[in-house]
Amino acid sequence: MDLRLRAPLDMHLHLREGAMLELVAPLSAHSFAAAVVMPNLVPVVDTLERLSDYRAKIEAATAPHTFTPLMTLFFRPYDEAMLAAMRPYIIGIKLYPEGVTTNTADGVRDLLRIEPTLAAMERLGIPLLVHGESHGFVLDREAEFLQIYARWASRFPRLTIVMEHITTAAALRLLDQYANLAATVTLHHLLLTLDDLAGGLLSPHLFCKPIVKRPEDRAALLEAALRAHPRLMFGSDSAPHPVERKEAANCAAGIFSAPVILPLLAELFAQHDALAQLQAFVSDNARAIYGLTPPAKTVTLARRPWQVPARYGEVVPFYAGQTLEWQVVDVQAN
């Protein structure tokens, strides 16, 4: 059987720069119509000049695919005039607490002092995208941040707040309490638990931030995705690192899932008799939440086995060397 998806969207993607960008960006652009691009580069993307230059590099790397990079700014306490000037060029502003993940040394230290910027974003209709983790015990970091989400959702009820790459059942419960909250969830958090990462020998290519959690958390996330919860969107958080950064004493956080996303999602949803909900999860919900009109693109998958390469350049992909049941067989811009 064939499965056709209209304008699949990846609502959380890391593309890096330079040779890494040129390697990984075409893999996302091949089967997605658009993607929300993260700004935590070195230096970070926090000016219009930097943003325009980065977008141009992405467009060059993804030609001739039909693909739109949806750009984000790294959160700063911007004044309202600058926010207004930036608004036409961005889908939102990405907030990282200081030091919480890769390239976030310049993130926010005091989460309460930045609320004037949130008020300005609310007035201008600019969504806030958040890496929502504290600096506490690693399994509790998301749970500890939920009180911040609740504070902002109630204080700024017209501000769209996207809880990025949620990992817990508690985050889903909060999602249902505030109409202005939305969330993304990754492929790997639908498939993995902490046992997969560290239950036997350590698997460095499964190490990510936020870290994979408990079986009950995975089950809750999967249930919400399979029924296409209307404020839950797919966002891969695909984050490539060269193999020497992953297979190292100080292992870099990030799972490179871009080449296998749609085949694995099709396999997962088919296993649960939920293929009819995949269109909403990978496209329709995000369009409604952000008011997006992505480029027209139809991606066809078929139940046809293929083996995932061991590497793409110097990057080891998710499910490297394994055989998947589904594959992308056709892509049409229409």
**294 phi, psi to nearest 5 deg:** -75, 165
Q: Which residue has tokens 């700063």? A: 76
237 noted as active-site residue: yes
Residue 328 near residue 2 (C-beta atoms within 8 A): no
Contacts 24+ apart (CB under 8 A), 188-196: 188/212, 188/237, 188/255, 188/257, 188/318, 189/165, 189/213, 189/218, 189/221, 190/218, 190/221, 190/222, 190/225, 190/268, 191/218, 191/264, 191/268, 192/218, 193/217, 193/218, 194/139
Chain centroid to CA 328: 20
CA distance 5 to 271: 18
Q: Taking a C-beta distance cutoff of 8 angstroms, is the pair 281, 213 a contact?
A: no
Rounded distance between C-alpha atoms, residue 153 and residue 177, angstroms: 9
Judge whether 254 and 240 are in contact, CB under 8 Å: yes
Catalytic one of 53, 79, 110, 237 = 237
- Under DSSP, the state recorded for 5 is E
Q: Which residues are catalytic?
A: 237
